[in-house]
Structure 1
Amino acid sequence: MERIERARTSARMSQIVTHGNTVYLAGQVGEPHHDITEQTRDALAQIDMLLEEAGSSREKLLQVTIWLANMSDFAAMNEVWDAWVPTGHAPARACGEAKLADPALLVEVIACASR
């Protein structure tokens, strides 16, 4: 039976959960009150850090879900996303609009990768 490991765990959630060679990350957000470009960069930088901690990288992303507070930010978010995703390694991806936990948050990114 494959082991489940959790890292950066609180009473509510873990930032990283691994099961076998699969890495699941909690949703990552940027600094509130920054614009969509900066919040997206912040969230993706957090994903880079967590993936590295889990023994993975953005080249090994399997699936990403992106929630935007407003779909009018779709193009600006995609500009940052497109520069961040390594050529030839785009994961399966979904993007939708949702009310986020804090009204100052504009984007949340949830990722799953292999190790």
Structure 2
Amino acid sequence: MLKWLKRIIYIVFVVFFLAVGVFFAIRNPQIISLDLVFWQGPQLSVALYMILAFTVGACVALLVSSVAFLRSERQIRVLTRKYEKTRNEVDALRKVSITKELSVGKE
């Protein structure tokens, strides 16, 4: 039920940001050249440089978050193995304890 609402909200956000981007590009047609310390970029519009900056930022954010995600996935696998090993040990100790109680109870 909430899945369709989530999709509608997502679509509204995407359309809103696209409209803001188009409006920004229309209102800022100036051509600039990006001048960094060791590199001078070609002459492009302000909007194109902004879109390029947002795209690079999004790619960097995805890369950083994927590294964190992979690290947490690895930690989950390690902890799952430890849990399984510990659970098997506890089950073995319970079996030993039950057999000892049964053997003591027979005497």
Decide which structure has greater helix share. Answer: 2
TM-score normalised by L of structure 1:
0.22
TM score, norm. by length of structure 2:
0.23
Going by fraction, where is strand more abundant, 1 or 2? Answer: 1
Higher radius of gyration, 1 or 2: 2
